[in-house]
Amino acid sequence: MTTIEDREDAAERLEARSWWVIDATMTKLFRTRPIIPKALAEQVRASCTLDNTFHLAFLVNATAFDSPALFTGYTLWTRRVLASRGVQPADLAANLDCLTDAIAGLLPKPSAEAILPILAAARAALDDAPVLPDPDEPVGPDALDGLARRYFLSAMEGRTDQAIALVKRTFAQGLGLQEVCESIITPVQHEIGRLWELNRITVAEEHRCSAITQLAVAQLYPRIVTLRKQHRNGRSLVAASVGGDQHDLGLRLVCDRFGAAGWMTTYLGASVPMAGIVSMAAEARPDLLLLSVSMGMHLRSARTILRAIRAHPDTRDLPVLIGGQALAAAPGIADRLEGTAVAQDPASALDLANRLLP
């Protein structure tokens, strides 16, 4: 049975040797799979190299947190994305087999023994789970209704003014910020992400929709400032997404909810380096730090930040509330992050913070 120290050592060794592992994986993969047309060889090799870079990043984190579920969830998601783009499931399975052999051959036995069961669990899941969702499952506007459907159609067609007007009008008519998020923003962003996974929209279309949503949410800020003044409670927070994590819309919405409830918020945004988070927390002396982790490949970064917060004399007792999709994807990891508490979803963050603080 591997200890916490064994798993962290194995994760560090895998990360340090990642490029050698990827090279060995690619060499065997291209030797064992059918010959690729010469005209496509360079493009396919570049794509496979990038894919294996992500495989290794998630595997490193799954190893460090002893979470087969983290890597299995990522693997099944990857298969859906690749299959929707014409990549055969057998190709991903072969890639994992080659990755397994590379790790067994390149890492010390104790490290390999901590990693290989995680790979084996993901490999077994590939044989059991369906490749793609039910073709009869509704997608796009058919998966939404009411305000969410109207907003989705406006955003997908690039009608920025119409989408913004819908959000502003809904908010002005008495639907609170939380209800706007739950009725419009969250379901629409989820469906846009799902459409990209299924290759129904391009990256550019996904980014355009997200940019429109950022603009729509920003229009509500003057009202949030007014609410903050009305409900001022003397509390403050600093919020950031960990370094490398470019997803920050959810965190922005959480900050706005805190602001509307009377909190002073310092929002640092996406992909904030550890040193910046620690120094800002030490300087601002907030009542709370919000830390967002959207992808499982950034969980170790979150833990590094939390350890730095606890090591700094001015922040060692600072309550830290952690949230993000990465924590929902693998139950149990949250307990190993060394934060004060974990918000399972944006709606619960404010209630949890109020219970944490006297």
Does pLDDT of 147 surpass 90?
Answer: yes
Does pLDDT of 302 surpass 70?
Answer: yes
CB 252 within 8 Å of CB 268: no
35-44, 50-59, 71-80: least confidently modelled range: 35-44
CB 121 within 8 Å of CB 160: no
What is the C-alpha separation between 303 and 145, in angstroms, rounded?
A: 39
Residue 173's Cβ-count burial label (10 Å; 0-12, 13-18, 19+) is exposed
**pLDDT tens across 277-297, in order?**
999 999 999 999 999 999 999
Specify the pLDDT at position 39. Answer: 60
Q: What is the DSSP string of 13-72?
A: HHHHTHHHHHHHHHHHHHHHSPPPPHHHHHHHHHHHHHHHHHHHHHHHHHHHTT-HHHHH
pLDDT band at 36 (very low <50, low <70, confident <90, very high): low
38-42, 125-129, 220-224: least confidently modelled range: 38-42
Specify the pLDDT at position 50. Answer: 92
> Beta partners for 341?
321
Specify the pLDDT at position 187. Answer: 93
Q: Which phi and psi (to 5°) does residue 321 adopt?
A: -105, 120
Q: What is the DSSP string of 90-115?
A: HHHHHHHHHHHHHHHHHS-HHHHHHH
Residues 6+ apart with CB under 8 A from 46: none
The secondary element (H helix, E strand) that includes residue 290 is strand 288-292
Domains defined for the chain, CATH in brackets: 4-128 (1.10.490.20), 140-219 (1.10.1240.10), 232-356 (3.40.50.280)
Instruction: State the average pLDDT for the chain.
Output: 90
Specify the pLDDT at position 177. Answer: 81
- This model's pTM is above 0.75: yes
Bigger pLDDT: 53 vs 135: 53
**pLDDT tens across 49-66, in order?**
999 999 999 999 999 999
CB 248 within 8 Å of CB 231: no
pLDDT band at 332 (very low <50, low <70, confident <90, very high): confident
Quick one: average pLDDT of 174-203?
90
What is the C-alpha separation between 188 and 151, in angstroms, rounded?
A: 8
Share of the chain above pLDDT 70, in %: 96
Specify the pLDDT at position 37. Answer: 62
Does pLDDT of 162 surpass 90?
Answer: yes
